[in-house]
Structure 1
Amino acid sequence: MTTALRRLRNYIDGEFRDAADGRTTEVVNPATGEPYATAPLSGSEDVDAAMAAAEAAFPAWRDLIPAERQKVLLKIADRFEERAEELIAAESENCGKPIALVRSEEIPPMVDQIRFFAGAARMLEGRSAGEYMDGFTSIIRREPVGVCAQVAPWNYPMMMAVWKFAPALAAGNTVVIKPSDTTPASTVLIADIIGSVLDELGHPRGVFNVVCGDRETGRLMVEHKVPAMASITGSVRAGMQVAESASKDLKRVHLELGGKAPVVVFEDTDIAKAVEDIATAGYFNAGQDCTAATRVLVQESIHDEFVAALAKAASETKTGAVDDEDVLYGPLNNANQLKQVKGFIERLPAHAKIEAGGEQVGEKGYFFAPTVVSGLKQDDEIVQQEVFGPVITVQSFTDEKQAVEWANGVEYALASSVWTKDHARAMRMSKVLDFGCVWINTHIPLVAEMPHGGFKKSGYGKDLSAYGFDDYTRIKHVMTSLDG
């Protein structure tokens, strides 16, 4: 006996719709490896309809006074709290995430982030007016850019949707967002929440739209003539493709891509505390985090002690069922990702040593054991490339100069951390580390008020903070003659 699959739909101009041509794709629960839903595999007709709805809604949404947009976002945040258990269930099924961790680690920050941008909606200001030429006054207008095409990833589909729609809507833009083809469920639920709020407050339905689909759907969105901006959180390859596609009509592009965060541990560090925090930051969400603490550089004098402690922490870290409150993380998101992580382990060079883990676990789903690999060299594949799994690598460095050279010696530049009791050393390292974020004696905390974004192949543009809000605005100079 087979169980009927749940039917997910696009959300376009305030209505839930199937793909125009009826095509669908199966959505798999990574904790079981079994499909639980179908979602539209949207094509050009669906993208056209969503863009038309967003374009039609833009003038009215743009022209609202900021306080009115703030009311909408505040009500959306309230509704997220009211429907938290639905969101938790959807995200857990989407990703196989432990229910308790979605409840404690995702819902509260998401609600806070929406409320932060609700406040930012009332800060659309430019520099003060002034006379910079005799007889003329200049003012600066800050305006929304228009329709935003947004593509969200599968590692945090619900939270990344918030990071995209909240600043965009706050600034007066309208949105067409595409979730990953493997994780559409929570974004479709978010559409139901936002749509109900827009209806209740009497705003245009086309302000927020969701189009499900695959890479081709995303390409159609980015290349569409309507959006003024394309935003993506995803792989470096996907970011490059988006930048190339958007260049054809010079769209603005906002890219948050991969990471390979160095975790630089000096010999004066409290090893037990560092290991505890680094293991959590490396294995949380199965290491499927662009900022994950998965590339550890340890000063040689404490290397062996540190590796032994980290391997012990890995062996005590638990992965498993979504309803088990003792697990730190769930499965990898999909079969392809499991294959990728396995491939890194299978291709390890002879000088590498697996200190813990290194294998798939469980009889079903895409679970992978917490893993520690030591004995690595700077040019090894697993050091240079993003694994995006519960795998922590360890290298041994001699001095501060070598630590900086190796830390910066990758193509990514999103996040990093330094572990030391020496304040001067921490300040020197924070200056020279070429990453968008440097944590000191911690790794991975984020707050709505501070920017998140990197350099180099980690992309450009910022999420969160006033800087993230600014990315969804444009600047206009207005000059008026004083002659009347």
Structure 2
Amino acid sequence: MATRLKNFIDGEFVDSSATEVLDIVNPVNGEKVAEAPISTAEEIDAAFAAAQRAFTTFRRTTPSERQKMLLDLADAMEANAERLADAQHRNTGQPRATITSEEIVGGADQFRFFAGAARTLEGKAATEYVGDHTSYVRREPVGVVAQVTPWNYPLDMAVWKLGPALAAGNTVVLKPSDTTPESTLVLAELIAEIFPAGVVNIVLGDGGVGAALVGHRTPVLVAITGSVRAGRAVAQAAAEDLKLTHLELGGKAPAVVFADADLKRTARMLADFGYFNAGQDCTAVTRVLVEESVREEFTRLLVAAAEDTATGSEDDAENYFGPLNNVNHFTTVMDKLKALPEHAVVETGGRQLGEKGFFVAPTVVSGVRQDDAIVQDETFGPVLTVQGFSSEEEAVELANDVRYALASSVWTSNHGTAMRVSRDLDFGCVWVNTHVVLAAEMPHGGFKESGHGKDLSQYAVEEYTRVKHVMHDLTA
């Protein structure tokens, strides 16, 4: 019998009274592994009430106290790496080694960064801007925060959301994705041993529960990582009572490859960066723009790299990447491939691997045009498209001509080319001769329909603070 998962409210795991449940399915084989409640309005109220009570005291904790808690949580993640990896693998099918290196070791490092960042918030120096009146700035936590995390990196996205919010002294009600809640619940077990009750609360459920969090009267700020559609819905709902929003949404990242790049190395790396996590990454390479003089040669190299990328095995140790996360998403990606225009050429891939689970072969599509849906719309699967360009100006124009603006990269051996193109690319992050390499100290976030706000870095902590001016009359 599948395990019935519980909500985490006010420091305890509690059974839900919900009659509706969600089946949690292992995407490697399509088998049910757990079921999660669709939390009720009363349970959501209880979670926010706990967060509100906890905020009255947690906001008063010193930065050093919050730092100690986050450092202890980082240590606990590493000590429980196997449990966390197993829980997440059941829900995502990601290779356990990838979960451990990217989300557990990486997540612990990010918690440690936020632990340090808790002690570095500052405002303007106290001084007299008006005669006999001293002014200074207080930077304070915003209050209770609602957060919604996605299914592509469940644990890491929980870290990205919780880390800066807790570092700044806020309390949280978080809803993990309906298909991947288990690693977040293991993290909640660790939090229960370190943080005061009510500081972090986890409620389970579907999009309706997420909408209920956004529309609830208590949270001051709503943060979500998800699709553009979900981001729009959050922004519209939050506007009703002018909640702050932090939206990290979709992407359609270009990799601009010039003829003077190391083509063989670049092809291998773009396959690695494009197919990592089955392409289920809003920063993943999706559009390969290649200088026309080397387009055919580079396409051959990219196809060879794709065909040398391992996936499709039930033994996750044999896979570079795992399956797509769920049957609905698998169907969506396959439908997009079936709907390719006649002028598009599937050079390799474009098919399901195996008879069970949701594996898709690494795919390269050439012959596409700028207005094709496969170029303009987020696929979120292991699919790379190839287009040619004849000049630096055309490359930048093609790269920028999408509604997303999250991530991009430039591949060249010419320093001047790299500097000019990285300046002109309209994306929140530009990598040069690499892609998707993240540092906790550097901001992650996009422009246009990729949303607003920054994850990681000191900028993320500032997103969870408010600025207050205090003035004293020195003559009183």
Bin of the TM-score, shorter chain as denominator length: over 0.9
Q: Using the alignment, how far apart are the partners of 1:131 and 1:338 within structure 2? A: 62
Q: Using the alignment, how far apart are the partners of 2:126 and 2:70 within structure 1? A: 30
Residue in 1 aligned with 2:238? 246
**5 Å matches for 1:279-294?**
279-294=271-286
3-state SS of paired residue (1:70)? helix
Q: Using the alignment, how far apart are the partners of 2:353 and 2:441 within structure 1? A: 39
Residue in 2 aligned with 1:385? 377
Could you list the per-position Cα deviations for residues 164-223 of structure 1 after superposition, in whole angstroms to 9, with x for gaps in the alignment? 01110110000100001011111111111101222xxxx3x0000000001110011001
Residue in 2 aligned with 1:349? 341
Q: Using the alignment, how far apart are the partners of 1:125 and 1:318 within structure 2? A: 48
Residue in 2 aligned with 1:132? 129
**5 Å matches for 1:395-410?**
395-410=387-402
Could you list the per-position Cα deviations for residues 100-131 of structure 1 after superposition, in whole angstroms to 9, with x for gaps in the alignment? 22122222110000000011111122111111
What is the aligned residue count? 476
CA apart distance, 1:331: 0.3
Could you list the per-position Cα deviations for residues 313-336 of structure 1 after superposition, in whole angstroms to 9, with x for gaps in the alignment? 111111134644231100000011
Q: In the alignment, residue 410 of structure 1 is paired with which amino acid?
A: V
2:114 to 112, 117, 131: 117
Query: Does residue 42 in structure 1 map to residue 47 in structure 2?
Result: no
- Unpaired runs of 5+ in structure 2? none
1:424 to 407, 416, 421: 416
Q: Using the alignment, how far apart are the partners of 2:100 and 2:143 within structure 1? A: 34
Q: Using the alignment, how far apart are the partners of 2:145 and 2:314 within structure 1? A: 34
Check conservation: 1:99, 1:323, Cα contact below 8 A. Answer: no
Q: Using the alignment, how far apart are the partners of 1:149 and 1:357 within structure 2? A: 40
Q: Using the alignment, how far apart are the partners of 1:321 and 1:17 within structure 2? A: 37
3-state SS of paired residue (1:446)? coil
Residue in 1 aligned with 2:87? 90
Check conservation: 2:104, 2:155, Cα contact below 8 A. Answer: no
**5 Å matches for 1:265-276?**
265-276=257-268
Check conservation: 1:408, 1:433, Cα contact below 8 A. Answer: yes
Q: Using the alignment, how far apart are the partners of 1:466 and 1:221 within structure 2? A: 26
Query: Does residue 445 in structure 1 map to residue 447 in structure 2?
Result: no
3-state SS of paired residue (2:18)? coil
Q: In the alignment, residue 420 of structure 1 is paired with which amino acid?
A: T
Check conservation: 1:461, 1:471, Cα contact below 8 A. Answer: yes
3-state SS of paired residue (1:295)? strand
1:481 to 469, 473, 476: 473
Residue in 2 aligned with 1:101? 98
- Unpaired runs of 5+ in structure 1? none
Could you list the per-position Cα deviations for residues 355-409 of structure 1 after superposition, in whole angstroms to 9, with x for gaps in the alignment? 0100011111000000000011100000000000000000011111110110000
1:164 to 158, 161, 164: 161
2:192 to 185, 191, 195: 195
Q: In the alignment, residue 69 of structure 1 is paired with which amino acid?
A: R
**5 Å matches for 1:60-99?**
60-99=57-96
Q: Using the alignment, how far apart are the partners of 1:347 and 1:220 within structure 2? A: 35
3-state SS of paired residue (1:259)? coil
Q: Using the alignment, how far apart are the partners of 1:322 and 1:165 within structure 2? A: 32
Q: In the alignment, residue 374 of structure 2 is paired with which amino acid?
A: I
Residue in 2 aligned with 1:311? 303
1:320 to 312, 327, 350: 312
Q: Using the alignment, how far apart are the partners of 1:326 and 1:184 within structure 2? A: 25
Q: In the alignment, residue 205 of structure 2 is paired with which amino acid?
A: G
CA apart distance, 1:8: 1.1
Check conservation: 1:124, 1:143, Cα contact below 8 A. Answer: no
Calculate percent identity across the aligned residue pairs: 58
CA apart distance, 1:14: 1.2
Check conservation: 1:92, 1:322, Cα contact below 8 A. Answer: no
Check conservation: 2:134, 2:474, Cα contact below 8 A. Answer: yes
TM-score by length of 1: 0.97
Q: Using the alignment, how far apart are the partners of 1:306 and 1:256 within structure 2? A: 32
Check conservation: 2:287, 2:384, Cα contact below 8 A. Answer: yes
Q: Using the alignment, how far apart are the partners of 1:425 and 1:116 within structure 2? A: 33
2:386 to 375, 385, 394: 394
Residue in 1 aligned with 2:252? 260
3-state SS of paired residue (2:223)? strand
Q: In the alignment, residue 8 of structure 2 is paired with which amino acid?
A: Y
TM-score by length of 2: 0.99
Q: In the alignment, residue 465 of structure 1 is paired with which amino acid?
A: S
Q: In the alignment, residue 267 of structure 1 is paired with which amino acid?
A: A
CA apart distance, 1:43: 2.1
RMSD across aligned positions (CA): 0.9
